[in-house]
Chain A
Amino acid sequence: MSNEHAVTRFIEVSQLMKRYKPGIPAVFADVSFTIAQGEFVCVIGHSGCGKSSILNILAGLEKASSGVVIMNGHEITGPSLERGVVFQGHALLPWFTALQNVEFAVRSRHPKYSRAKIKEEAEQYLNMVGLGAALHKKPSELSGGMRQRVGIARAFSVEPSLLLMDEPFGALDALTRGLIQEELLGVCARTHQTVFMITHDVDEAIFLADRIVLMSNGPGARIAEIVKNPLPRSRTRETMHHEEGFYDLRNHLVDFLVRRSALVTKSVA
């Protein structure tokens, strides 16, 4: 289904395996895929299959037990500003305001910037996610959706080549989630951002992703298949389900999650 020859190999993940402790089964093994520049890739899989572990390896926060990740021709060995992360929990620093949280990131990216310049930049990213009015609120004073948006603004503010998002909208209600998804898609389209995102939500994956990586159940998880999204990039949340191929894709994914994800692992193991 995928056509890897059509895209440049910006990120190349090959033969990744992770085992947390010797003697227990690997969380996942034999994981290989690529991400092209400007591509939006989603990963779907059941809880515990190792999605976050893969993302952390991509972020450089964890080491793979075997296998390599090549980004732009260089192996990833540690964290870097080249890869911005939106964490599964929002991971905002609670003693900072929204603005300070983003400023903290901007200063890391541009240590030479003046205080005013940093503030300006940070405000700009918060405005981008629609938080211009909540700059001076602490995370505890923000709603769940607002917090997640601060997290996204922070990740964007370091202008990463690759944006890694771990279930960024998991804790949000459907309405808020929809709004932020649209914002995210808009921003990514405008900035040609390359994104690797984890989700549990089939509709979210269809709406956002160019390609969807399906993982079988852990332990011993594998990539079951990689599905290319046939819907046009101009899709919107309202019109998406009228597009041709939407229900085929949705049924395929749901069927995978409900039925086949377990079978694949068994057959491989």
Chain B
Amino acid sequence: MNSFSETLRAWGLTAFLCVLLLAGWYIATFPAASHSPYGIPDGNAEYQALMGHGPNAASHSEGFPTPKQFLDAAWIQLREPFHDRGPNDRGIGWQLGASLLRVALGYGLAVLVAVPGGFIIGLSPLIRRALDPFIQILRPISPLAWMPIALYTIRNAEECGIFVIFICSLWPVLINTAFGVAAVRRDWLNVAKTLEVVWWRQIFLVLLPAAAPTIITGMRVGLGIAWLAIVAAEMLVGGSGIGYFVWNQWNNLSIANVLLAVLMIGITGMVLDLLFGFIQRRLTYVE
């Protein structure tokens, strides 16, 4: 009962902050009477029409969009999120899908490499110590720093994007897997040893489940980074994806659409994280 009212209050507070934000936005972007600055003459009616201010011309925003303008732009995009008028004009749904596909590929690859790699590192103190300097140096490199290197060596833009996702999400998964495996309770390993369990059962039935919560934490962090990196990578390599959408809308100086994309990126990131939170809860055991 208490936790229910607590939840209710939290939701209430969230809603209140939303309203506050919207009100602030509305006030901050309230269209001021538009006068040419610096005493530049307003020109004639034709001039005004060319400036998009005429009675027949569609009005356009200068600067940050108002909530209304944002909603209008969002509606246009979200009305048909999967429209496809050629490779250079696809709906925001397509773009999100393209990004998710890239992340799935790059991130999936990273997990495929990092989990077995983490096992080896976690099980062998020698290899751990030998690889530690490499991992420590490579880990903090930002996705954007990898991009030129990738473009120069891999060349193919699509593969570059996937590589950047791969290399950025690799480290948290690798490090957490190694840590999780190394920290598995000796008792459990001793149980497996005294039962003469074959190595692959030992890996899949003891080490993996024991390290799973730590590995999933690493995978969750890795996915977060992958989702951060994809937007940056796509803004550079372009072609498709939500990052490309941002660039394309920025190219049009359409802040409303950029805002929409930012919101979609945030929501998608949140959904992915919730998904992982759910998996994590399923795999966490109580000792």
Which of A's residues lie within 8 Å of B, judged by CB? 59-61, 78-81, 83-85, 87, 89, 91, 93-95, 104-105, 108-109, 111, 138-140, 158
Q: Given A94-B287, A140-B285, A140-B286, A108–B197 Cβ distance below 8 Å?
A: yes
| B224 proximal to A (CB < 8 A) | no
Segment of B5-13, B90-98, B186-194, B214-222 engaged in the interface with chain A: B186-194
Query: Chain A residues with Cβ under 8 A from B198's Cβ?
Result: 111
Contact call B196/A138, Cβ cutoff below 8 A: no
| B267 proximal to A (CB < 8 A) | no
Which of B's residues lie within 8 Å of A, judged by CB? 185, 187-188, 190-191, 193-198, 201, 205-206, 209-210, 212, 283, 285-287
Contact call A158/B287, Cβ cutoff below 8 A: no
Beta-carbon nearest neighbor of A61 in chain B: B190
Q: How far, in angstroms, from A94 to B184 measured CA to CA in the complex?
A: 12
Q: Quick one: which of A79, A94, A139, A140 contacts B194, CB cutoff 8 A? A: A79
Beta-carbon nearest neighbor of B284 in chain A: A95
A-B interface contact total, Cβ < 8 Å: 62
Contact call B194/A93, Cβ cutoff below 8 A: no
Contact call A91/B190, Cβ cutoff below 8 A: yes
Query: Chain B residues with Cβ under 8 A from A91's Cβ?
Result: 185, 187-188, 190-191
Contact call B193/A61, Cβ cutoff below 8 A: yes
Query: Chain B residues with Cβ under 8 A from A140's Cβ?
Result: 285-287
Complex A-B: 20 CB contacts under 8 Å: A60-B193, A61-B194, A79-B193, A79-B194, A79-B196, A81-B196, A85-B190, A85-B191, A87-B187, A94-B286, A94-B287, A95-B209, A95-B212, A95-B283, A104-B197, A104-B205, A108-B197, A140-B285, A140-B287, A158-B195
Q: Quick one: which of B191, B197, B205, B209 contacts A87, CB cutoff 8 A? A: B191
Query: Chain A residues with Cβ under 8 A from B191's Cβ?
Result: 85, 87, 91, 93
A89 to chain B minimum Cβ distance, whole angstroms, is 6
Q: Given A93-B209, A95-B209, A85–B285 Cβ distance below 8 Å?
A: no
Beta-carbon nearest neighbor of A62 in chain B: B190
Given contacts A87-B190, A95-B285, 19 further A-B contacts (CB under 8 A): A59-B190, A59-B194, A60-B193, A79-B196, A80-B196, A81-B194, A81-B195, A83-B194, A85-B191, A91-B187, A93-B188, A93-B205, A93-B210, A94-B287, A95-B209, A95-B283, A105-B195, A109-B195, A138-B285
Q: How far, in angstroms, from A93 to B196 measured CA to CA in the complex?
A: 16
A245 to chain B minimum Cβ distance, whole angstroms, is 36
Interface centre among A78, A83, A87, A95 (most CB of B within 10 A): A95
A201 to chain B minimum Cβ distance, whole angstroms, is 22
A-side binding surface: helix, strand, loop or mixed?
A: loop
Contact call B196/A94, Cβ cutoff below 8 A: no
Contact call A84/B194, Cβ cutoff below 8 A: yes
Query: Chain B residues with Cβ under 8 A from A84's Cβ?
Result: 194
Q: How far, in angstroms, from A84 to B194 measured CA to CA in the complex?
A: 7
Contact call A60/B194, Cβ cutoff below 8 A: yes
Contact call A108/B195, Cβ cutoff below 8 A: yes
A25 to chain B minimum Cβ distance, whole angstroms, is 24
A20 to chain B minimum Cβ distance, whole angstroms, is 15
Query: Chain A residues with Cβ under 8 A from B287's Cβ?
Result: 94, 139-140
Q: How far, in angstroms, from A203 to B264 measured CA to CA in the complex?
A: 69
Query: Chain B residues with Cβ under 8 A from A89's Cβ?
Result: 187
Query: Chain B residues with Cβ under 8 A from A93's Cβ?
Result: 188, 191, 205-206, 209-210
Query: Chain A residues with Cβ under 8 A from B190's Cβ?
Result: 59, 61, 79, 85, 87, 91
B119 to chain A minimum Cβ distance, whole angstroms, is 17
Beta-carbon nearest neighbor of A100 in chain B: B205
A151 to chain B minimum Cβ distance, whole angstroms, is 9
Q: Quick one: which of A59, A81, A94, A105 contacts B285, CB cutoff 8 A? A: A94
Contact call B286/A138, Cβ cutoff below 8 A: yes
Query: Chain A residues with Cβ under 8 A from B209's Cβ?
Result: 93, 95
Q: How far, in angstroms, from A89 to B185 measured CA to CA in the complex?
A: 11
Beta-carbon nearest neighbor of B209 in chain A: A95
Q: Quick one: which of B195, B283, B285 contacts A104, CB cutoff 8 A? A: B195
Beta-carbon nearest neighbor of B212 in chain A: A95
The 6 closest A-B pairs by CB, nearest first: A140-B286, A91-B187, A108-B195, A94-B285, A95-B209, A79-B193
Query: Chain A residues with Cβ under 8 A from B197's Cβ?
Result: 104, 108
Query: Chain A residues with Cβ under 8 A from B195's Cβ?
Result: 81, 104-105, 108-109, 158
Q: How far, in angstroms, from A109 to B194 measured CA to CA in the complex?
A: 11
Beta-carbon nearest neighbor of B283 in chain A: A95
Q: How far, in angstroms, from A75 to B158 measured CA to CA in the complex?
A: 61
Beta-carbon nearest neighbor of A151 in chain B: B191
Query: Chain A residues with Cβ under 8 A from B193's Cβ?
Result: 60-61, 78-79
Q: How far, in angstroms, from A104 to B287 measured CA to CA in the complex?
A: 18
Contact call A108/B286, Cβ cutoff below 8 A: no
Beta-carbon nearest neighbor of A89 in chain B: B187
Q: Given A94-B285, A138-B286, A140-B285, A85–B194 Cβ distance below 8 Å?
A: yes
